[in-house]
Structure 1
Amino acid sequence: MTLTFGLQALAGITAGITVAFADEPVRAPSPPLPQIAQEATTPNALVGTESALTQKPPTPRSSQASSAGFVADSRFGLEWRNYTDYYHLSGISRHAWVESLQAKFESGFTRGPIGFGIDAALFGALKLDGGRGAHNMVYNGRHSDGERRLAWAYPGLYSLKARISDSVLKYGLQQVSNPFLDPHDNRALPPTFLGASLLSREVNGLALQAGSFTKADPRGQTNLVDLRTTYGRVSFKRVSYAGATWDYSPDGSVSLYADQADDLWRQYYASLQHGFGNVRSLRLTGFANLYSTHDTGASRQGPIHNNAYSASLSAQRGPHGLLVAYQKILGDQFFDYIDETAGVYLVNSMDVDYNAPHEQSLQLRYTFDGKQAGLPGLTAIVWAQQGWGADTSVGAQRYAQDGASYDALYQRNGQPLHGRHHEFGFIPTYVVQSGPLRNAKFTLIAQWHVGSAFYSDGTNQVYRLLVTLPTRIF
Structure 2
Amino acid sequence: MSNQFSSFRLTGLGMLAALLSQGAAASFVENSSLTLAARNFYLDRDYKGETPYSAAREWAQGFIVRANSGFTEGTVGLGIDAIGMLGLKLDSSPDRTGTQLLSYDPVTREARDEYSELGLSLKGRISKTKLSVGTQFPALPIINASPARLLPQSFRGAYMISDDIDGLTAHLGRMDRVNLRDSTDYQPIGLASPNGRFRPGASSERFDFYGGDYRWSDSLTVRLFHAELRDIYTQDFLGLLHTLPFGEGKLKSDIRAFNSRDDGQARGGKVDNLNVGGMFSYLWGGHSLGVGYMRQFGDTAFPYIAGGEPVVLSDGTMSADFVNPKERTWAVKYDYDFSASGIPGLTGMMRYLHGNSIDLPALGGSNLTESSKDFELAYVIQSGPAKGLAFRVREAFYRNQQGAASTFRSDNETRINIDYTIKVW
Structure 1 residues 387 and 348, CA gap change in structure 2 (3 angstroms)? farther
Do the aligned residues in 2 keep the contact of 1:136 with 1:219 (CA within 8 Å)? no
Q: 1:429 aligns with which of 378, 382, 388?
A: 378
Do the aligned residues in 1 keep the contact of 2:314 with 2:322 (CA within 8 Å)? no
Q: Please report how far the alpha carbon of residue 144 of structure 1 lies from its aligned counterpart in structure 2 after TM superposition.
A: 6.1
Q: Please report how far the alpha carbon of residue 102 of structure 1 lies from its aligned counterpart in structure 2 after TM superposition.
A: 0.6
- The match for 1:25 is none
Counterpart of 2:284, as a letter, is: R
Q: Please report how far the alpha carbon of residue 321 of structure 1 lies from its aligned counterpart in structure 2 after TM superposition.
A: 1.8
Structure 1 residues 160 and 128, CA gap change in structure 2 (3 angstroms)? same
- The match for 1:358 is 326
Do the aligned residues in 2 keep the contact of 1:136 with 1:221 (CA within 8 Å)? no
Which structure exhibits the higher relative contact order, with contacts defined as CA atoms closer than 8 Å and separated by 6 or more residues? Answer: 1
User: In 2, distance between residues paired with 1:154 and 1:148?
Assistant: 17
1:293-312 to 2 correspondences below 5 Å: 293-312=260-279
User: In 1, distance between residues paired with 2:65 and 2:249?
Assistant: 42
Q: 1:239 aligns with which of 195, 207, 211?
A: 207
Counterpart of 2:134, as a letter, is: G
Structure 1 residues 331 and 470, CA gap change in structure 2 (3 angstroms)? same
- The match for 1:380 is 348
The answer as to 2:406 corresponding to 1:448 is: no
Structure 1 residues 289 and 205, CA gap change in structure 2 (3 angstroms)? same
1:70-219 to 2 correspondences below 5 Å: 70-90=28-48, 91=51, 92-132=54-94, 133-135=96-98, 137-141=100-104, 143=106, 147-155=110-118, 157-219=119-181
- The match for 1:253 is 221
Q: CA RMSD in A?
A: 2.0
Do the aligned residues in 1 keep the contact of 2:64 with 2:86 (CA within 8 Å)? yes
Secondary structure (helix, strand or coil) at the match of 1:140 reads: coil
Secondary structure (helix, strand or coil) at the match of 2:213 reads: strand
Q: Please report how far the alpha carbon of residue 108 of structure 1 lies from its aligned counterpart in structure 2 after TM superposition.
A: 0.5
Do the aligned residues in 2 keep the contact of 1:215 with 1:224 (CA within 8 Å)? yes
Q: Please report how far the alpha carbon of residue 296 of structure 1 lies from its aligned counterpart in structure 2 after TM superposition.
A: 1.3
- The match for 1:314 is 281
Q: Deviations over 1:447-472 (max 9, x none)?
A: 11011146943211110001110001
- The match for 1:337 is 304
Gaps of 5+ in 1: 1-66, 394-410
- The match for 2:423 is 472
TM-score normalised to the size of structure 2?
A: 0.86
Aligned residues: 387
Do the aligned residues in 2 keep the contact of 1:272 with 1:287 (CA within 8 Å)? yes
1:281-292 to 2 correspondences below 5 Å: 281-292=248-259
- The match for 1:55 is none
Do the aligned residues in 2 keep the contact of 1:178 with 1:343 (CA within 8 Å)? no
Q: Please report how far the alpha carbon of residue 139 of structure 1 lies from its aligned counterpart in structure 2 after TM superposition.
A: 2.9
The answer as to 2:413 corresponding to 1:462 is: yes
Structure 1 residues 230 and 237, CA gap change in structure 2 (3 angstroms)? same
User: In 2, distance between residues paired with 1:150 and 1:76?
Assistant: 27
Q: Please report how far the alpha carbon of residue 344 of structure 1 lies from its aligned counterpart in structure 2 after TM superposition.
A: 2.4
User: In 1, distance between residues paired with 2:105 and 2:230?
Assistant: 24
Do the aligned residues in 1 keep the contact of 2:97 with 2:109 (CA within 8 Å)? no
Question: Percent identity at matched positions?
Answer: 25
User: In 2, distance between residues paired with 1:324 and 1:468?
Assistant: 30
Deviates more, 1:101-110 or 1:131-140: 131-140
Q: 1 or 2, which has the higher strand percentage?
A: 2
Secondary structure (helix, strand or coil) at the match of 1:137 reads: coil
Larger radius of gyration: 2
Secondary structure (helix, strand or coil) at the match of 1:390 reads: strand
